[in-house]
Amino acid sequence: MKINRNPQTVHPPVAPYVHQVEIAEPCRWLTLSGQLGMALDGSVPEEPIDQLKLALENVKLNLEEASMGVEDLTKLVFYLVGEFNSESRREVINQFLGEHLPCTTMMYVVALAAPPFKVEIDAWAAQPIHE
């Protein structure tokens, strides 16, 4: 069971996320390497927001490969390079997450692995083990 909490002693979340997720039973853990905004054919969209959409899709595809879904995410870390329209960024992330609220961290960094990359996402997921 995942228990989301926002302690009353900490400021309210400033976006759709929770301050903590407690895993309260035996579960399967999935840790993803950083997912880039790169298509299966190796192409990388020029627009950062398109890279964000593609990186989130790659997270989803990795979850599906492990028989998990967005609802199993416990933590997302976004690494962003350059300018992003914050309203568009929030809209894309909110659409991806739906009603699910994992813990999140967002960082603007100077660069990623290669100049074309403007987005990388780390993700962790947990799913209860049913015996």
For residue range 41-88, what is the model confidence (pLDDT) as tens digits? 999 999 999 999 999 999 999 999 999 999 999 999 999 999 899 999
Structural domain span for residue 21: 2-128
pLDDT band at 131 (very low <50, low <70, confident <90, very high): low
Give the pLDDT score at 25: 84
Judge whether residue 5 has pLDDT over 70.
yes
Q: Which two tokens stand for residue 103?
A: 């813990």
Number of domains in the chain: 1
Q: Following DSSP, what letter does each residue of 24-70 receive, concatenated?
A: -S-EEEEEEEEEES--TTS---SSHHHHHHHHHHHHHHHHHHTT--G
Give the pLDDT score at 81: 98
pLDDT tens sequence across 102-124: 999 999 999 999 999 999 999 99
Give the pLDDT score at 1: 79
Give the pLDDT score at 109: 97
58: left (phi over 0), alpha (psi -120 to 50) or beta: alpha
pLDDT tens sequence across 25-40: 899 999 999 999 999 9
Region 2-10 average pLDDT: 92
CATH number at residue 46: 3.30.1330.40
Pick the more confident residue, 32 or 129: 32
Give the number of other CB atoms < 10 A from CB of residue 6: 14
pLDDT tens sequence across 94-103: 999 999 999 9
